[in-house]
């Protein structure tokens, strides 16, 4: 079975803005902007997607290495403005007319005019010691003060710096300065063979091993022209939902823990542990690594109906416990509201988008498995912490249902692929990881090694939404709001 | 009733026993509450004496101060500990005849504890960090809201006894057991429990075990402390909890407290206090386990509720006198 058709068009830089505008008008979203250094020129691929029906349009702009300038799309799409800042930091490509071209990936100590994804970047030069601090926007007014938090936190969480401008306890503005976990993953991909690439993809964000691996494999399979069998797609679909389940249970518990309802968290952790052990039985790895490979998928065993039923019952009891506590409900309701209009304008995806009413889900828009066609994602309307809690609960139930159904349909524990003739040498993989839509774009060179791989984690698109949702939220509610988004720092930074 | 006034030597001994007891009892009660919570969550949990072990560990560490801190930061732990110790010394915990018992007016106790709170808040502000100031501001807000409820509850308790001297209040309660179940006492009890939960930083007001800096109240104030000084501040907070739980226990169920000058009575008093405070701690644990942390802006409602209850306690006390 093939995934959606991809069309790639070479265009001139001057046509970009108009073509992009017409794609946005026809319901496309900008899924990725991928820079390439082809030696004598730079190439930027703008990936637009929409669905259903599954549509993938790529616009390719070539630029001279010396005059690396593209027209900005930031007036059309907020996500585009973020992609362009990333492109500027990594390639030195200037989006002409960008209103806010501040460093995004680039930290202050990176040398000036050093672009790490250019071919001539070499090893990183010495860090700057004289770098000015990041120019946070200072909120003026009487009684306004700043609270800097992080990047090192008291708990065992990923690093990120948050700068709050506060009056009393009310947040006026929050700026998240992330990118403290830059590992140079895109560089690591370059020159790797596809098996090595798989190992890297599995480790981009530890809690999203399946999501990233699947998107990577889809991209490589498209590039190699591999036809993956239906059985393999069924197993992949099941693994994707298993990953969603253990993460959503963890989040439901963590949300309760952040309002100090420890008993519910303890129960959630026990359910999560049951699921991790189930993962271990099924794949031989608690975090589901090692099952999905390019062109094939295999598991050791399938989860039994009684195991799934037991987890389902325990989860329902947990949710009932949380919802019956009036203090918990009071803390969740009306906290950190992300309005549907804001969510759409920012281009949020995944759980966060759906909790604000955006029915955006790659399982519906870019389905890869026959029985999952016609999938209708759950959505909420509130956009507050409660809605994000409810969204996870609904998605857990849906995932459990999908795993049960696939279990009944499964015909084998291992499935492979057949190779077809024409291989485009580049591929696009889109998968709905548990946080949201993951996009991988891979290009292979003549020897079959990866010449360029670009990953877009949903967190990259969703982080700005957190700041927007925080206006009029009080400082002590920030950890709860942040947890309800539960975005990845590692997936965001590469 | 013939009042037997024990010797000054006895009172001195009793007072020393009280201080040593509360130094041990406070941390142990906190360890006990953590244990109850752990069991409710299906965990084994740390041993009950873990807080004492933590104190020993902290005391053996080097002293470190924030770069911009003034003399307030190292000085505050001593003020906190001294004020709490005096309050412990003069309160009727294991005996109704502590040294300086005649000065143990309940208002004195309240303001001795407040002295400690103010010292902690000043220390929070001292290092000039955002968290310290945030914690101090929150702690003072809660303190300001809790204080009226506390004072009015105290008035309700003193109506029946006709005195605000703590040892006398407890002695007279011993001779009038029916007071304890009176509506005024019960209303005041609920009000006092709310205030004590707020003052000791327990759920649903504050979560002592959180690692989320932005939600902290007491923990945010003391973030700049390390080593021996952190041990003193923590010990002060634990003793305060031990003292407040003991006062609740003795004001509402005074039996077991030593009234005569006998050593056996003193030992019985110690045993009774340990048992009673353990029961109070267990009760507070149950409240904690079943509740979650209130939104910061809901706390005034909770404490206003405590205030209303104590006003009702005063009115009922006056009507039923």
The bridge status of strand A170-177 relative to strand A226-228 is: unpaired
Distant-in-sequence, close-in-space partners of B99: CB < 8 Å, separation ≥ 6: B8, B11, B12, B14, B15, B89, B90
Residue B2: pLDDT above 50? no
Query: Which of B211, B294, B296 lies closest to A327 in CB terms?
Result: B294
Q: How far apart are CA B155 and CA A236, in angstroms?
A: 70
Query: Which of B43, B130, B203 lies closest to A148 in CB terms?
Result: B130
Q: How far apart are CA B71 and CA B89, in angstroms?
A: 27
DSSP string, A445-491: -TTS-EEEEEEE-HHHHHHHHHHHHTTT-BGGGHHHHHHHH---HHH
Distant-in-sequence, close-in-space partners of B264: CB < 8 Å, separation ≥ 6: none
- For A166-195, b/e burial (b = at least 16 CB within 10 A) is beebebebbebbbbbbeeebbebbbebebe
Lowest mean pLDDT among A43-52, B4-13, B290-299: B4-13
Residues of B in Cβ contact (< 8 Å) with A258: 212, 215
d(CA B40, nearest CA chain A) in Å: 7
Q: Binning pLDDT at 50, 70 and 90, where does residue B272 land?
A: very high
Q: How far apart are CA A85 and CA A98, in angstroms?
A: 9
Q: Is the peptide bond before A52 cis (omega within 30 degrees of 0)?
A: yes
Q: Please, which residues bridge with residue A452 across strands?
A: A443
Cβ–Cβ under 8 Å, residues A194 and A486 = no
d(CA B298, nearest CA chain A) in Å: 10
Write out pLDDT tens, residues A226-260.
888 888 888 999 999 999 999 999 999 999 999 99
3-state secondary structure of A45: strand
pTM value is: 0.92
Cα-trace Rg, chain B: 19
A460: nearest Cα among A132, A166, A34? A34
Q: Please, which residues bridge with residue A64 across strands?
A: A41
B194: nearest Cα among B93, B83, B51, B291? B291
CA angle, residues A248, A253, A255, in degrees to nearest 5: 95
Which residue of B212, B218, B222 is the best one to mutate when testing the A interface, meaning the one whose CB has the most A CBs within 10 A? B212
Please give the mean pLDDT across all residues of chain B. Answer: 91
The pLDDT score that the predictor gives to residue B4 is 61
Which H, E and C letters describe chain B, residue by residue? CCCCCCCHHHHHHHHHHHHHHHHHHHHHHHHHHHHHHHHHCCCCCCCCCHHHHHHHHHHCCCCCCCCCCCCHHHHHHHHHHHHHHHHHHHCCCCECCCCCHHHCEHHHHHHHHHHHHHHHHHHHHHCCCHHHHHHHHHHHHHHHHHHHHHHHHHHHHHHHHCCCEHHHHHHHHHHCHHHCCCHHHHHHHHHHHHHHHHHCCCCCCCCCCCCCHHHCCHHHHCCCCCHHHHHHHHHHHHHHHHHHHHHHHHHHCCCCCECCCCHHHHHHHHHHHHHHHHHHHHHHHHHHHHCCCCCHHHHHHHHHHHHHHHHHHHHHHHHCC
d(CA A147, nearest CA chain B) in Å: 5
Which residue of B292, B294, B300, B302 is the best one to mutate when testing the A interface, meaning the one whose CB has the most A CBs within 10 A? B292
ipTM associated with this complex = 0.89
DSSP string, A331-350: HHTTSS---HHHHHHHT--H
Write out pLDDT tens, residues B190-227.
999 999 999 999 989 898 888 888 888 888 899 889 99
Kindly give the parts of chain A with pLDDT less than 50: 1-2
Cβ–Cβ under 8 Å, residues A216 and A242 = no
- For chains A and B, CB pairs below 8 A equal 74
A 325-384 residues inside an 8 A Cβ radius of B:
325, 327-328, 330-331
The number of CA neighbours under 13 Å toward the Cβ of A154 is 14
Which residue of A143, A260, A272 is the best one to mutate when testing the B interface, meaning the one whose CB has the most B CBs within 10 A? A260
Q: How far apart are CA A145 and CA B83, in angstroms?
A: 33
Sheet containing A161-167: order of strands: A144-149, A161-167, A170-177
The pLDDT score that the predictor gives to residue A308 is 94
Q: Is B41 within 8 Å of A262 when comparing Cβ atoms?
A: yes
Residue listed under structure tokens 């900008």: A30
Residues of A in Cβ contact (< 8 Å) with B204: 260, 327
Residue B121: pLDDT above 50? yes
Instruction: Report yes or no: A478 at the B interface, CB cutoff 8 Å.
Output: yes
Backbone angles phi, psi at A30, to 5 degrees: -85, 110
Q: How far apart are CA B116 and CA B75, in angstroms?
A: 11
Write out pLDDT tens, residues B53-94.
999 999 999 998 888 889 999 999 999 999 999 999 999 999
Token pair for A93:
């490509």
Query: Which of B43, B207, B292 lies closest to A325 in CB terms?
Result: B292
Q: Binning pLDDT at 50, 70 and 90, where does residue B1 land?
A: very low
Token pair for A135:
């120019």
Residues of A in Cβ contact (< 8 Å) with B293: 259-260, 327, 331
Residue of A nearest to B296 (CA): A476
Residues of B in Cβ contact (< 8 Å) with A261: 291-292
A493: nearest Cα among A56, A116, A149, A124? A116
Q: Is B130 within 8 Å of A146 when comparing Cβ atoms?
A: yes
What are the sequence ranges of the domains in chain B?
8-24+57-320
A451: nearest Cα among A194, A274, A191, A277? A191
Taking any CB pair shorter than 8 Å as contact, residues of chain B touching chain A are 37, 40-43, 130-131, 134, 203-204, 207, 210-215, 289-298
d(CA B202, nearest CA chain A) in Å: 11
């Amino acid at each position: 079975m093939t995934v959606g058709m991809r069309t790639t068009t070479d265009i001139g830089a001057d046509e970009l803005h108009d073509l992009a505008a017409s794609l946005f008008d026809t319901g496309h979203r900008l899924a990725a902007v991928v820079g390439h250094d082809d030696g004598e020129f730079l190439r930027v691929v703008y990936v637009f997607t929409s669905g259903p029906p599954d549509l993938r349009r790529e616009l390719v702009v070539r630029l001279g290495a010396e005059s690396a300038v593209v027209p900005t799309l930031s007036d059309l799409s907020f996500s585009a403005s973020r992609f362009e800042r990333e492109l500027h930091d990594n390639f030195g490509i200037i989006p002409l007319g960008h209103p806010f071209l501040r460093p995004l990936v680039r930290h202050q100590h990176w040398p000036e005019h050093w672009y790490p994804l250019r071919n001539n970047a070499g090893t990183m030069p010495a860090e700057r010691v004289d770098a000015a601090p990041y120019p946070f926007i200072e909120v003026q007014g009487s009684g306004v003060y700043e609270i800097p938090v992080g990047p090192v936190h008291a708990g065992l969480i990923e690093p990120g710096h948050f700068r709050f401008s506060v009056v009393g306890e009310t947040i006026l503005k929050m700026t998240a300065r992330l990118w403290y976990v830059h590992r140079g993953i895109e560089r690591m991909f370059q020159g790797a063979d596809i098996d090595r690439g798989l190992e890297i993809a599995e480790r981009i964000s530890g809690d999203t091993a399946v999501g990233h691996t699947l998107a990577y494999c889809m991209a490589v399979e498209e590039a190699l022209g591999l036809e993956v069998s239906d059985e393999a797609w069924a197993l992949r679909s099941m693994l994707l939902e298993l990953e969603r389940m253990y993460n959503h249970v963890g989040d439901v518990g963590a949300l309760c823990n952040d309002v100090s309802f420890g008993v519910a968290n303890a129960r959630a952790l026990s359910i999560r542990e049951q699921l991790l052990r189930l993962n271990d039985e099924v794949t031989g790895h608690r975090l589901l690594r090692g099952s999905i490979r390019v062109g094939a998928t295999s598991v050791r065993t399938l989860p039994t109906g009684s195991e799934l039923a037991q987890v389902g019952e325990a989860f329902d009891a947990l949710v009932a416990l949380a919802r019956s506590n009036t203090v918990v409900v009071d803390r969740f309701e009306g906290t950190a509201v992300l309005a549907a209009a804001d969510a759409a304008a920012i281009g949020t995806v995944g759980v966060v988008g759906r909790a604000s009413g955006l029915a955006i889900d790659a399982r519906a828009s870019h389905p890869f498995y026959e029985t999952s066609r016609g999938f209708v994602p759950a959505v909420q309307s509130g956009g507050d912490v409660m809605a994000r809690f409810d969204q996870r609960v609904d998605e857990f139930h849906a995932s459990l249902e999908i795993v049960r159904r696939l279990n009944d349909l499964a015909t084998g524990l291992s499935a492979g692929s057949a190779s077809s003739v024409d291989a485009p040498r580049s591929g696009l993989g889109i998968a709905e990881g548990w946080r949201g839509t993951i996009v991988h774009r891979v290009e292979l060179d003549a020897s079959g090694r990866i010449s360029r791989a670009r990953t877009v984690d949903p967190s990259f698109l969703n982080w700005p939404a957190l700041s927007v949702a925080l206006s009029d939220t009080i400082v002590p509610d920030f950890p709860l709001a942040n947890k309800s988004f539960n975005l990845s720092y590692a997936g965001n930074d590469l | 009733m013939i009042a037997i006034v024990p010797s000054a030597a006895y009172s001195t001994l009793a007072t020393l026993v009280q201080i040593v007891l509360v130094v041990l009892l406070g941390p142990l009660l906190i360890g006990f509450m953590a244990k109850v919570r752990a069991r409710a969550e299906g965990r084994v949990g740390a041993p009950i004496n873990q807080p004492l072990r933590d104190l020993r560990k902290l005391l053996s560490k080097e002293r470190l101060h924030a770069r911009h801190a003034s003399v307030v930061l190292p000085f505050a732990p001593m003020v906190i500990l001294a004020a709490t110790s005096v309050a412990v010394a003069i309160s009727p915990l294991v005996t109704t005849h502590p040294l300086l018992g005649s000065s143990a007016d309940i208002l004195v106790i309240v303001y001795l504890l407040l002295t400690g709170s103010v010292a902690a808040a000043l220390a929070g502000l001292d290092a000039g960090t955002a968290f310290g100031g945030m914690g101090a501001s929150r702690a003072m807000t809660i303190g300001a809201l809790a204080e009226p409820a506390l004072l009015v509850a105290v008035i309700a308790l003193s109506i029946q006894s006709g005195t605000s001297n703590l040892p006398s209040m407890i002695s007279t309660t011993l001779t009038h057991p029916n007071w304890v179940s009176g509506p005024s006492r019960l209303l005041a009890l609920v009000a006092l429990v709310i205030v004590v939960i707020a003052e000791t930083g327990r759920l649903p007001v504050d979560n002592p075990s959180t690692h989320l800096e932005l939600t902290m109240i007491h923990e945010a104030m003391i973030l700049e402390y390390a080593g021996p000084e952190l041990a003193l501040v923590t010990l002060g907070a634990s003793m305060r909890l031990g003292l407040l739980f003991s006062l609740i226990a003795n004001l509402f169920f005074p039996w077991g407290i030593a009234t005569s000058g006998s050593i056996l009575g003193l030992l019985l008093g110690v045993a009774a206090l340990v048992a009673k405070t353990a029961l109070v701690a267990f009760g507070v644990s149950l409240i904690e386990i079943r509740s979650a942390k209130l939104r910061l802006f809901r706390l005034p409602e909770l404490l206003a509720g405590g205030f209303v209850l104590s006003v009702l306690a005063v009115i009922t006390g006056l009507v039923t006198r």
